[in-house]
């Protein structure tokens, strides 16, 4: 973060720079996708393939990146996605990430497989005031547990720690076919673990128990009854599922394919987003993630109906490269790119962005 | 098959691993395709290009891969395609393959150019009980012979050995233009031969006699009269031919382009399958092969109207790498991938899979 | 042509094999295309991109490659395109090519920039009887000359030598922008020249005189009055020009873009052919050339409305590699590939081939 | 420019040849694009992807490249785009470029960030008579300045120097995200500066002041009132903006995306041009730039509705390689390529070129 010529000037270079900082196993875990990684590749490619319309001579004075994400007024729409086991990237793990999020006014969704306790993460966010003195939202991501008591315990810890929403991830009832992890023989090193989960709760090695325990639409009622927090579903791609989520009284959706880590050759999120947006007709707020690497990608996501975006892998790349400062710089860079993209598209307020921005 | 990190975790790596185990001639024979190998490349590519719709929160408890293939109830829809001269890959040849098929409850279609006698293959299958004690089906693939007595003899041997269907391959009246074989100067090494065929019956070197001997729709009547077994046609791609096959009283079709080994630049099987399915309107059971390398490919094939799939080259790659155990592992891996893909698409029973799974 | 494993088994390998046999200048001249060689690349690619429908169980007995090209009954539809200065490839030049054409019953179109006299070429063809004792047609290609007397002289020599048609090339009023020739500083070596043209008639180095001398529709009347031979136009791609050619009383068209050597980024011939066929409605016979390298390409061309095809560069590659024997082998190989492709598409007679062969 | 085999025969080779002549920083500045350089790549690719229709036997005698650009009768439609800081490429900078433009009868648009004074540039053009004794037009490109007095001063200098039009660039209110410049740590070397702008006027490092100062449609009135010169807008891509420009009384438009240097993944100019042409219905003259590298590109641009084209980067490549002679040779080469392309498309006068030339 000195005045020197920077080590990386965009998120691709950041990914490259992270390479040497990660063990082969951690790199396989963080970077890999399912199967032949078609979806992993399609996610960024499909954002880039969309064409923006530059607009000229529009009034730009007073332009800003402020917007709403669900009920939260935020300084900009760039959030951090839940990414497990961040101590694999940096000893401070999710605490460092949270400090960066707070400093850059970025909302953060903490993984239920966090390697640091939610209470510590929440504290870290609170101690770092953003320039305006606001504290960015912290949400808690939930994987449905075979044991309801355990699920309930997670919810209550998240509520107590001050998380302002729950994110139920629904696109990973089973582990994706992640060949690079299998090839690397990935396993967690000593000292890194999912601190919210009991020691024994490792992923089952056969499918049947997982399938039996997988949550269904029906289970959402129980969840709704056991928390006062808004509930978002993460991993919805099919418009019909989006409609069901609305009926089920959910508070928001994260259009996601888990960063291409679960079902290979599934649709990209850039492709699915406008279809989901059409299905929910603005009655359910949407976030989207998967392959967002440029400010132009953020603007396109908003133009297609998302209120904001989540950033996955670049988060851990930045953490590996520079700890909290690295993550902060990554968020700032994206936000600056977004502001430039808005100006060149004649867009002074994201809340007016729509499909007319796209050619 | 030990607990060590595996030598290959998917079928692409398996193909690579097979490389050093095969002579240059055998590799040319097994891997090559016709002409410039456009169709060889299009087969897998066109499966991969199809996009699946992930579905969320569907009930998955009790999911299974059981299905029907023609009249056969099977544990899963992954069969082994007829592949000639398997002793080129492993001294035990088709016997090892058959043991793997039986152990993994996979149906097997034995080539009429098998390097091992059908009786030995049938025996091998019977001696390996699958976990449920069932014996997977063994079918016999037929190339029409200029000499009807010879054809009849083949049929009767297959029937006597206990084969439960005949598969007449109709897409190779002449040898494809297989440049890599020609370049390698491929010929069978001493000790490997098509044991069901008389020594002299090598492929004619001029076209005219082959064209004269090629079977026609008319010959199917004779075939129907001379066997009590169900007859499937292998190599049908055009919907009009599918309709003719139905009129001709065939029992099933294998949508196939011979793994891209006959007519280069012909349509891929992923492209043709739904068109054939539309033509037969469910009145003729369909299998499909060509480039199936992932569980997602299997699911897509079923979604497009096939009851099951056949696996060609990976069979001999696995045989070369690990004999019967290798082939068994290959089938198991595909089946596991299929189960994961089903779960992520919210599909608990293949018999309900249809085009809605595809985006 | 011995029994050994062959040096090349298809036309791509032939092109590679020709490399070391040609001087850098000759290679630049023979292989190069205009501009960035987009059209050069599109010509073969667009044939390959077309998909054939395999057909099964059709009666193939009696299949043959015989067809009509204009008024000529021919053994097969594969002709040799006019290619200038063949002594650059082999000391015997066009005479060797002609002997191969005759031996393989292939029609030949002799370039007006031939490095060997038309009389010698015609003689060579006559001395080589094809298996059936027939002599394949020899046509003469004409570039319009600024001096009508010279044009007339060329016509009369061609007639006297026994050529059975004139081919007026209309797609090259000016030299294309052939960068590789310019880069190589191409010029004819001592001893090679366009023997039918007076010494001074080199290409003008400024454009204006060429444009002034370029033939127009109007000039075709004069041509028609000065020869008793059928006249084909070579280089027609636009359907409107095809219609004009018909009105102008031409006898046939060669759909060609000069092998991608004149206007870069122009349409490929595979793309243009069906449009020209639609325009002439079968009232004008069509040939096509450009990027035909496989028997499947020949079948596709016929399916799209051409009576036959012309082969350009492979001709000189074969000549460089093996003189007359090389050219003969090249033609035979393509013809055999064509016969295989026909059989696999269930086509026993080219005269019945139509667009139904294409998917 | 000697008779030897030339160092470069097309603009791609010219770009390569310029490599070693430029410092790493200058190369980053001249060659780079915004973001991932998708638009930089799409600009030339989208011209090349358009297919021309060759036409035959059209009368070509008297063909020429003369045309009108706005009110200017010009010898050909190839102009030089405004490119800043040309002394980075050659010590003589914009003066050398201007001499080449004049010698080749090419209009030139001088950047307001020129490293040489407009008076010197105008003088240089006047001292080089083109073959016909005419002086090619010199236009002045304007970046809107926060300080209106400064803007006015620029306008008046340009008028006094004899510029015949003003070009207001409207696609760069903020600096694009130019990663290669950032990576190279680009800054101007001693001795090179924007001589028309006061020393202090460097680009602000935060966005807000730039956005505040960005010109709007409203400001065009002031501009119109303060100059007697025709005003063209440079950087319009959206048809709606084109319509607004017409309403605002502008005199012409340059369809441009700043050579892919501002908004990455925006539409290419080849894609936008026909849409802008449809919007202005011939009532506003159009120029276009971005990726024009071949005579065929020029012809396509004219066919799609532009009166002429501007050449950006090749200008500084040629300057680096050969000073004024290099630039002159570059223009001549493109013009010759254009003449060849016209002849092969049967087009003798650009004013008749229209979309029928494209397939
Ligand atoms: C290493 C890694 C771990 C992840 N862990 C979780 C997780 O624990 N919970 C979850 O809902 N999503 C998880 N995700 C998915 C991300 O939340 C997000 O959907 C995805 O990374 C977005 O795509 P991107 O990486 O291309 O930005 C993980 C992703 C990665 C790469
Ligand atoms: C080496 C080899 C030999 C084959 N032999 C036969 C055969 O004897 N009979 C037959 O009907 N198909 C034969 N086939 C075709 C296969 O049955 C099957 O259609 C094809 O391999 C499927 O494509 P895949 O290899 O991409 O899975 C053979 C294929 C290969 C690769
Ligand atoms: C080296 C060379 C010389 C050629 N000379 C002539 C010629 O003299 N007259 C003519 O009409 N076409 C000429 N052509 C064009 C060919 O007749 C033919 O249209 C083209 O080569 C077909 O494309 P192909 O090379 O891809 O098969 C020539 C082509 C090449 C490659
Ligand atoms: C190095 C460089 C400097 C440029 N400077 C200016 C400028 O000062 N003003 C302007 O309007 N456009 C400027 N442009 C944009 C060009 O005028 C033109 O739009 C663009 O270069 C055309 O694309 P091309 O380079 O692909 O031909 C610049 C372009 C380059 C490459």
What pLDDT, in 10s, does the model give residues B155-183? 999 999 999 999 999 999 998 999 999 99
3-state secondary structure C167-194: EEECCCCCCCCCHHHHHHCCCCCCCCCC
pLDDT given at position C200: 60
| Distance to chain A for D180, nearest Cα, Å | 9
- 10 Å CB burial of residue D149 (0-12, 13-18, 19+) is exposed
Ligand in closest contact with the CA of A11:
1
> What is the per-residue burial (b if ≥16 Cβ within 10 Å, else e) of B211-228?
beebbbbebbeebeeebe
How far is it, in rounded angstroms, from Cα A255 to Cα A252? 10
Mean pLDDT of chain D: 95
* Inter-chain CB proximity A345 and D35 less than 8 Å: no
pLDDT of D10 > 50? The answer is yes
Cα A171 to averaged position of ligand 3 atoms, centre (Å): 58
| Best to test chain C binding among D7, D54, D55 (most C CBs inside 10 Å) | D54
Which of B28-32, B127-131, C267-271 has the weakest average pLDDT? B127-131
pLDDT of B5 > 60? The answer is no
Residue from D266, B359, D237, D270 nearest A49 by CA? D266
User: pLDDT digits over B55-99, tens only?
Assistant: 999 999 999 999 999 999 999 999 999 999 999 999 999 999 999
Kindly give, in sequence order, each residue whose CB lies less than 8 Å from that of residue D352, ignoring residues fewer than 6 positions away: none
User: What is the number of the ligand 2 atom nearest to the C-alpha of B259?
Assistant: 23
CB contact C58 to B (< 8 Å)? yes
User: pLDDT digits over C195-206, tens only?
Assistant: 999 876 555 568
Kindly give, in sequence order, each residue whose CB lies less than 8 Å from that of residue A277, ignoring residues fewer than 6 positions away: A286, A304, A305, A306
pLDDT given at position B277: 98
- The residue ranking higher by pLDDT, B130 or B271, is B271
B165 touches B55 (CB < 8 A): no
Nearest CA in chain B to A39: B51
pLDDT of B4 > 50? The answer is no
CB contact B6 to A (< 8 Å)? yes
How far is it, in rounded angstroms, from Cα D273 to Cα D280? 11
Strands A231-236 and A108-110, bridge-based pairing: unpaired
* Mutation pick for ligand 1 pocket among A118, A261, A310 (CB with most ligand atoms within 8 Å): A261
| Best to test chain D binding among C25, C34, C35 (most D CBs inside 10 Å) | C35
Cα A130 to averaged position of ligand 2 atoms, centre (Å): 64
How far is it, in rounded angstroms, from Cα D207 to Cα D204? 7
pLDDT given at position B205: 66
Task: Label residue C133 by pLDDT band (50, 70, 90).
Answer: confident
Instruction: Give the residue carrying structure tokens 């332009």.
Output: A63
Domains in chain C (CATH in brackets) are 11-51+64-196+215-357 (3.20.20.70)
Instruction: Give the residue carrying structure tokens 């102008």.
Output: C248
N residues, chain D: 359
B122 touches B63 (CB < 8 A): no
- The complex scores an ipTM of 0.96
Check if C196 is active-site. no
Kindly give, in sequence order, each residue whose CB lies less than 8 Å from that of residue C161, ignoring residues fewer than 6 positions away: C118, C119, C121, C122, C138, C140
* Inter-chain CB proximity A237 and B339 less than 8 Å: no
User: pLDDT digits over B245-271, tens only?
Assistant: 999 999 999 999 999 999 999 999 999
CB contact A174 to D (< 8 Å)? no
Alpha carbon A228 to chain centroid, angstroms: 22
How many C-beta atoms surround the C-beta of residue C63 within 10 A?
21
pLDDT of B2 > 60? The answer is no
Residue from A125, A113, A123, A35 nearest A79 by CA? A125
Token pair of D29 as six digits: 């500045």
Helices (H), D50-165: 93-103, 118-127, 148-161
| Distance to chain B for A349, nearest Cα, Å | 33
> What is the per-residue burial (b if ≥16 Cβ within 10 Å, else e) of C192-207?
bbbbbbeeeeeeeeeb
Task: Label residue B200 by pLDDT band (50, 70, 90).
Answer: low
> What is the per-residue burial (b if ≥16 Cβ within 10 Å, else e) of C287-326?
bbbbbbbbbbbbbbbbbbbbbbbbbbbbbbbbbbbbbbbb
Question: What average pLDDT does range B291-312 have in this prediction?
Answer: 98
User: What is the radius of gyration, based on Cα positions, of chain C?
Assistant: 19
pLDDT given at position A203: 54
Task: Label residue D338 by pLDDT band (50, 70, 90).
Answer: very high
Task: Label residue B6 by pLDDT band (50, 70, 90).
Answer: low
Q: Read off φ and ψ for residue A124, nearest 5 degrees.
A: -60, -45
Q: pTM for this structure?
A: 0.97
Mean pLDDT of chain A: 95
User: What is the radius of gyration, based on Cα positions, of chain A?
Assistant: 19
How far is it, in rounded angstroms, from Cα A198 to Cα D268? 55
Question: What average pLDDT does range D226-254 have in this prediction?
Answer: 98
User: What is the number of the ligand 2 atom nearest to the C-alpha of B293?
Assistant: 27
How far is it, in rounded angstroms, from Cα C332 to Cα D282? 57
Kindly give, in sequence order, each residue whose CB lies less than 8 Å from that of residue D287, ignoring residues fewer than 6 positions away: D69, D79, D232, D252, D253, D254, D255, D306, D307, D308, D309, D310
Within 24-43 of C, beta carbons closer than 8 Å to D belong to 35-36, 38
- Inter-axis angle of helices A313-344 and A11-18, to 10 degrees? 170
pLDDT given at position D6: 61
pLDDT given at position A202: 53
E-only strand ranges, B15-137: 67-69, 72-74, 78-80, 108-110
pLDDT given at position C7: 85
Report which secondary-structure segment, H or E, holds A50. none
Question: What average pLDDT does range D64-93 have in this prediction?
Answer: 97
CB contact A349 to D (< 8 Å)? no
| Distance to chain B for A237, nearest Cα, Å | 7
DSSP structural state of residue C233 = E
Instruction: Give the residue carrying structure tokens 């997982």.
Output: A210
Catalytic center residues of B:
258
Nearest CA to ligand 1 atom 14: A83
pLDDT-flagged residues of chain A (< 70): 1-6, 130, 200-205
* Inter-chain CB proximity C173 and D61 less than 8 Å: no
A18 touches A322 (CB < 8 A): no
% of chain D residues with pLDDT over 70: 96
% of chain D residues with pLDDT over 90: 92
How far is it, in rounded angstroms, from Cα B344 to Cα A266? 10
**Helix, strand, or coil here: D215?**
coil
Nearest CA in chain C to B206: C336
Question: What average pLDDT does range C142-165 have in this prediction?
Answer: 96
Cα B315 to averaged position of ligand 2 atoms, centre (Å): 10
pLDDT given at position D3: 37
């Amino acid at each position: 973060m000195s005045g020197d010529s920077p080590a990386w000037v965009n998120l691709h270079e950041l990914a490259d720079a992270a390479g040497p900082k990660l063990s082969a196993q951690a790199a396989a875990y963080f970077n890999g996708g399912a199967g032949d990684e078609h979806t992993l590749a399609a996610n960024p490619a499909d954002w880039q393939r969309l064409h923006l319309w530059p607009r000229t001579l529009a009034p730009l004075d007073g332009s800003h990146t402020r917007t709403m994400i669900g009920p939260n007024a935020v300084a900009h729409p760039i959030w951090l996605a839940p990414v497990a086991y961040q101590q694999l990237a940096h000893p401070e793990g999710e605490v460092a990430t949270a400090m960066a999020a707070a400093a850059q006014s970025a909302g953060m969704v903490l993984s239920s497989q966090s390697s640091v306790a939610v209470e510590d993460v929440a504290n870290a966010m609170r101690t770092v005031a953003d320039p305006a003195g606001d504290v960015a939202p912290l949400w808690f991501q939930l994987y449905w547990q075979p044991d309801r008591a355990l699920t309930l315990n997670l919810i209550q810890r998240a509520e107590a720690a001050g998380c302002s929403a729950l994110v139920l991830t629904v696109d990973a009832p089973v582990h994706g076919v992640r060949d690079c992890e299998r090839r690397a023989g990935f396993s967690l090193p000593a000292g890194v673990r999912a601190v919210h989960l009991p020691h024994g709760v490792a992923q089952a090695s056969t499918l049947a128990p997982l399938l039996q325990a997988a949550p269904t639409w029906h289970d959402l009622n129980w969840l709704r009854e056991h928390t006062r927090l808004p509930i978002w579903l993460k991993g919805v791609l099919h418009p019909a599922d989006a409609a069901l989520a609305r009926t089920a009284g959910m508070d928001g959706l994260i259009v996601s394919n888990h960063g291409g880590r679960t079902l290979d050759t599934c649709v990209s999120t850039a492709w699915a987003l406008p279809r989901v947006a059409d299905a929910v007709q603005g009655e359910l707020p949407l976030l989207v993630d998967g392959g967002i690497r440029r400010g132009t990608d953020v603007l396109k996501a908003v133009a297609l109906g998302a209120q904001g975006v989540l950033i996955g892998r670049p988060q851990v790349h930045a953490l590996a490269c520079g700890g909290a400062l690295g993550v902060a710089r990554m968020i700032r860079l994206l936000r600056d790119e977004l502001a430039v993209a808005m100006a060149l598209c004649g867009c002074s307020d994201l809340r007016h962005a729509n499909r007319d921005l796209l050619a």
